[in-house]
Chain A
Amino acid sequence: MSELGIVYALLGAAVAVLLSGTGSAIGVGIAGQAASGVVTEDPSKFAKVLIIQLLPGTQGLYGLLIGFITLSKIGVLGGGLADLSVQTGLLILAACLPIGVVGLLSAIAQGKTAAAAIGIVAKKPDQFGKAMLFPAMVETYAILALLISFLAVSGIQV
């Protein structure tokens, strides 16, 4: 037993939420700038560009998901901290890394793609269906990272 185990585990939850949340904020921000430009010209496209702007926001949610599961696993939620060895704590930290790092980078990349997709909607609003797909392609990798983080966190025995 060591006091540090729980600290590492909490650090893992923090990393998952922190990095992916930051990425989503940047991504949604980039897309939002493009969206604002379109709405200045044509306010009727508001709903369409808003939907595309939201796409890079999901990484933040995935981070939240992993963070939440980690918190409830180590007992931060609802009291009664679990006794964690340093090894288990580090395991949980490592398990949280994929969604943190991939979430950060993929959300930024997705934000840029979303900005370009908003350009499609600006010029050809009828191609909305296709425009939405390009950012969704990027998200695949965040989903894969989420999956591994989730399986790892829920697989670690506390």
Chain B
Amino acid sequence: MAVLKMQRISICALKKDRKAILEKLQSMGVLEVNHILEEDEDFHKMDTVGKKQGFEKAASSIDQSLDILERYAPEDKSMFAALEGKKLISSEEAVKVQEERRELLKTAKQIYDLDREHAERLASAAKLTNSIESLTPWLALDVPLKVMKTDRTVFFPGTMPGGTTAEKVYEILAEKAPEAESADVHIISQEQSTVYLAVICLREEAGAVEDALRSEGFARPSQSWEEAPAREKEILEQKIAACQDNISEIEEKIKALASERERLKIAADYYRVRADKYEVLGTLPQSERTFVISGYIPAAAADKTADYLMKKYDCMADVEEMQEDEEPPVILKNNPFSANMEGVVESYGLPVKGEIDPTTIMSFFYVFFFGMMLSDAAYGVIVSIVCGILVLKFPRMSAGMKKSLKLFFYCGLSTIVWGVLFGGYFGNIVDIVTGKFFGTTITPPALWFVPLNEPMKLLLYSLLFGVIHLFTGLAIKGYLCIRDGKIMDFFCDVVLWFMLLIGLILMLLPSDLFASIAQMEIVFPGWLDTLAKVLAIAGAAGIVLMSGRSNKNPALRIALGAYDLYNITGWLSDVLSYSRLLALGLATGVIASVINQMGSMLPNNVIGIIFFILIFIVGHSMNLAINLLGAYVHTNRLQFVEFFGKFYEGGGRPFHPFRENTKYAEIKEETLS
């Protein structure tokens, strides 16, 4: 249970070793770069923005090509791909890819270009298809679809509103262009809203005829064609076929490039790592021949790193303690069991300077409460087995994922224990199955008691666990006060509260109220009653007098103290909040029973049994899922609000080392040698 101690390491080395040292530091990944040295006349920072962007661009263009590849030739991924983690590659493999990175970049470009060509071809195929569609109504026309002229006559095609007949056209012509008697109208085809027609008339009358028709909605086709529509259609279809061939050819080409996928990924990672390196390089103060790099390093790794660097290169590595006012980044270090709960602490906030890492203490309560809320042995077995198998089967999953799964594994174990204590196995499935199919109802005995039968008992125990949890929190606060030498704070904020609270609890236990809730009477000897009263009164008086001690004005001080005493309601609500341990446990059990009850209402034959199994599987999966969610959320809440509220604020900065931050593959670590 600790926050890892941080030190500052400053390395001053020759420029000729710059690349080697930076790469070494990056592959070790133990240093968070943080410079204290300002620029001056001797030390300048190098401008690496252009280079860095170049590498970033290379990385993103390869990423893009990988996305394209994924579209054309999807990678075979299992359902659990997200759990598999990054691939591990040997350093020889990595070096080989690095040497070919330029070709790979070209391959990426090629994939990108092919994809663009593919899109263009698709677009032109779509355009051709549209043209065919616009030609379709004209297919009956056996001359080219355009305005044609002979010496004496004009031919022009066009459209009119739906429902127009040849007679109607002649009527229009007779009315609006009576002099044009030569016009000959052919209806080519008809649709709901459009009639396609062709008109032939004398050259000198053409203008009048078209004007007359136009006034009734005539329009020329938007496109003219050199050949007869049927012939044009053939030509277009040939073009589309050529396009399609082209498209599949491009697809084949891209698919053929899919074999490069793994190497492209490594190259993308390489560029990403280079970009990170150049970003750091840009922050380094450099003189003519030397450079300085400085940053935070875990104390455990500091001396080893410094020795190694000094042995191998001409450089000076200096390890020093943190300055008073520095706020170093935080790494948590815990025992193998509690380390799995670090993610929970992290999601609340890492400890700031001066706070302790609450993970270890919290981890035990966490697992304890989680199991109590889920409290069904069968569910616990399922959760533990599933998480255990996943962790074993995918050893390379990301560290965060692994921790979460292990967390649920331990919570599952705790659930099994609570399930056995409370006698919950898929709710009451044993009763139901034995009662329904074998005639005699067998109830698996609860090792402790059945919460449904004695809810008040479990409620009291829940509150008791709550009090223990809260008192632990307050005790940690006391420990922190003593550690920091604030004896006054320890006495006023911790000891007085303990006196008051313990006094109040001792006064409550022998009271009638408690007796009616617990259905048992506790009688204390007279001295204990007196002690309880003394403790409570002394504690309360102390709080009233001391809480406002930072204030000089005595009246204000008492007022603030009285206000602080009001916090007793906060304690009450905190303790009552633990009643959710009972409520959520009951919810799991009762809803599981509802599902079993539903199944048992079916007739006792083959179909009934099939449906019984179906209801059992679906119902219990849903109940498990929703109660798992509930147990997780509410366990977190008890830790974050009730427990952390007593002593912990958080807000520390996580440690972001300068390392090989890859996306796809990890290179096998070289050992320090």
Contact = CB atoms under 8 A, between A and B. Distances in A.
A108 interface: no
Contacts of B347: 127-130
Interface string B567-583: 00000000011011011
Interface of A: 51, 54-55, 57-58, 61-62, 64-65, 68-69, 77, 127-130, 132-133, 136-137, 139-140, 143-144, 146-147, 150-151, 154
12 contacts: A51-B629, A55-B629, A55-B633, A62-B587, A64-B591, A65-B590, A65-B594, A130-B347, A133-B641, A144-B576, A144-B579, A150-B586
Interface residues of B, number: 30
A137 B633 CA distance: 10
Contacts of A64: 591, 594
Interface in B547-592: 576-577, 579-580, 582-584, 586-587, 590-591
A143 B583 contact: yes
B456 interface: yes
A77 B576 CA distance: 33
A133 B590 CA distance: 25
Nearest to A78: B597
Contacts of A144: 576, 579
A84 B298 CA distance: 72
A30 to B, nearest CB: 18
A150 B583 contact: yes
B455 A54 contact: no
B652 to A, nearest CB: 15
A44 B580 CA distance: 32
B580 to A, nearest CB: 5
Contacts of A136: 633-634, 636-637
Contact of A61 (B456, B580, B591): B591
B590 A143 contact: no
A69 B590 contact: yes
A146 B582 CA distance: 10
Interface in B65-88: none
A102 B580 CA distance: 16
B626 A54 contact: yes
Given A140-B577, A143-B579, A143-B584, A61 B626 contact: yes
A137 B587 contact: no
A151 B584 CA distance: 14
Contacts of B630: 58
Interface in B632-673: 633-634, 636-637, 640-641
A133 B580 contact: no
Interface of B: 344, 347-348, 452, 455-456, 459, 576-577, 579-580, 582-584, 586-587, 590-591, 593-594, 597, 626, 629-630, 633-634, 636-637, 640-641
B579 A147 contact: yes
Contacts of A130: 347-348
Contact of B593 (A68, A128, A151): A68
Contact of B344 (A57, A129, A143): A129
A143 B631 CA distance: 13
Given A132-B633, A154-B455, 19 more contacts: A55-B629, A57-B626, A58-B626, A58-B630, A61-B626, A65-B587, A65-B591, A68-B594, A127-B347, A136-B633, A136-B637, A137-B637, A139-B634, A140-B637, A143-B579, A146-B583, A150-B583, A151-B455, A151-B459
A124 to B, nearest CB: 12
Contacts of A65: 586-587, 590-591, 594
B582 A147 contact: yes
Contacts of B633: 55, 132-133, 136, 139
Given A57-B626, A132-B633, A136-B633, A151 B344 contact: no
A54 B622 CA distance: 12
Contacts of B637: 133, 136-137, 140
B587 A133 contact: no
A129 B591 contact: no
A150 B593 contact: no
Given A54-B626, A65-B587, A65-B590, A129 B348 contact: yes
A68 B455 contact: no
Nearest to A130: B347
Contact of A132 (B459, B626, B636): B636
A127 B348 CA distance: 9
Contacts of B344: 129
A114 B347 CA distance: 18
Given A65-B591, A77-B597, A133-B633, A147 B348 contact: no
A157 B640 CA distance: 39
Given A128-B347, A146-B583, A150-B455, A133 B640 contact: yes
Given A55-B633, A129-B636, A147 B590 contact: no
Contacts of A143: 579-580, 583-584
B583 A61 contact: no
A154 B593 CA distance: 16
Given A129-B347, A133-B640, A137-B637, A54 B591 contact: no
Contacts of B634: 136, 139
A61 B587 contact: yes
Nearest to B630: A58
A94 B455 CA distance: 19
Contacts of A127: 347
Contacts of A57: 626
Contacts of B587: 58, 61-62, 65, 146
